Structure 1
Amino acid sequence: MTLIINGEARDVAAPSLAALLEALELDAAVVATAVNGRFVRRADRMVTLLAEGDAIEILAPMQGG
């Protein structure tokens, strides 16, 4: 299915947000996620199902000073 990940269309076979993070080889503990503009808590990623055309935002924390 085609998902919009951080503004870029990508074909990914991932039924859930947790599966998507695994497929992208991202450490789920250090990213923030949103689906269609709604924040998804880490505990809810496994049950957050994805559908064709969903917009996914994956953000990593930044350090600086």
Structure 2
Amino acid sequence: MQITINGQLERIAQETLEEMVRRKGLAPEHLVLEHNREVVPRERWAQVALQEGDVVELLRFVGGG
């Protein structure tokens, strides 16, 4: 299936938001995830299955001063 992640089309297998984050090797504790224009709390990532045409934005916190 094809979805958009941070503005880029990607072909993926059927997976949840949590599985996608793990597959990409990202640290969940530093992410905010938006799925189809709705921020999804981290505790719900494992319950949200991605569907054809979904749009996901992954936002990472970066420290600095």
TM-score where L is the length of structure 2: 0.90
Q: Point out where structure 2 has 5 or more consecutive residues left out of the alignment.
A: none
Q: Is the 8 A contact 1:33 1:56 kept in 2?
A: yes
Q: Who is 1:27 aligned against?
A: 27
Q: Point out where structure 1 has 5 or more consecutive residues left out of the alignment.
A: none
State the shift of 1:62 in Å.
Answer: 2.3
Percent of matched pairs sharing the same residue:
28
33-42 vs 13-22, which moves further: 13-22
Give the residue type in structure 1 aligned to 2:29.
A
Q: Who is 1:9 aligned against?
A: 9
State the shift of 1:28 in Å.
Answer: 1.2
Runs (4+) off by over 4 Å = none
Q: Who is 1:39 aligned against?
A: 39
Give the residue type in structure 2 aligned to 1:32.
V
How many residue pairs are counted as aligned between the two chains? 65
TM-score where L is the length of structure 1: 0.90
State the shift of 1:30 in Å.
Answer: 1.1
